[in-house]
């Protein structure tokens, strides 16, 4: 989870036994987007963010065909805490990390569907 994710989301996911690591806990809170995404990739973790700049970094890596572990993006004003927790719990229990490698996705609401972000490529 990058620094833009509300603490309530992280806490609720942990109450549901979802494995979560925040950038703050990892000592990566001050890293720029490129280095934060690289750190998530090194750890084999999908990066959850509400930072539009990170979308640009994902798009750059896609264009340059650089590997990364994947990004899940949720708009800060369009997704409630409850919806974000539900969506992330579903993602964590129904998908694997391997399926996220090199992808940028945004859960849409409702109904829950993934939409790819082709405008970033």
Residue 1 within any structural domain of the chain: no
pLDDT at 42: 93
**Token pair 């084999």: residue:** 44
Angle of CA points 101, 36, 41, to nearest 5°: 30
On whether the CB atoms of residues 65 and 55 are closer than 8 A, the answer is no
Residue 103 within any structural domain of the chain: yes
- Strands annotated E in 6-98: 47-49, 71-73
Residue 2 within any structural domain of the chain: no
Sign, CA dihedral 87-93-94-95, equals positive
Q: Report mean pLDDT in 10-residue bins for the chain, 121 residues.
A: 93 94 94 94 92 89 90 85 90 80 62 36 28
On whether the CB atoms of residues 10 and 23 are closer than 8 A, the answer is no
What's the domain count of the chain? 1
Residue 37 within any structural domain of the chain: yes
On whether the CB atoms of residues 110 and 88 are closer than 8 A, the answer is no
On whether the CB atoms of residues 55 and 48 are closer than 8 A, the answer is no
pLDDT at 12: 96
């Amino acid at each position: 989870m990058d620094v833009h994710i509300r603490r309530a989301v992280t806490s609720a996911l942990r109450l549901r036994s979802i494995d979560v690591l925040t950038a703050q806990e990892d000592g990566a809170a001050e890293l720029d987007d490129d280095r934060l995404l690289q750190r998530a990739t090194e750890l084999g973790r999908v990066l959850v963010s509400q930072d539009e700049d990170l979308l640009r970094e994902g798009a750059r890596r896609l264009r340059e065909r650089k590997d990364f572990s994947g990004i899940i993006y949720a708009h800060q004003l369009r997704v409630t805490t409850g919806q974000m927790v539900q969506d992330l719990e579903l993602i964590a229990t129904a998908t694997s990390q391997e399926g996220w490698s090199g992808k940028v996705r945004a859960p849409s609401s409702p109904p829950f569907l993934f939409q790819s972000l082709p405008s970033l490529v």
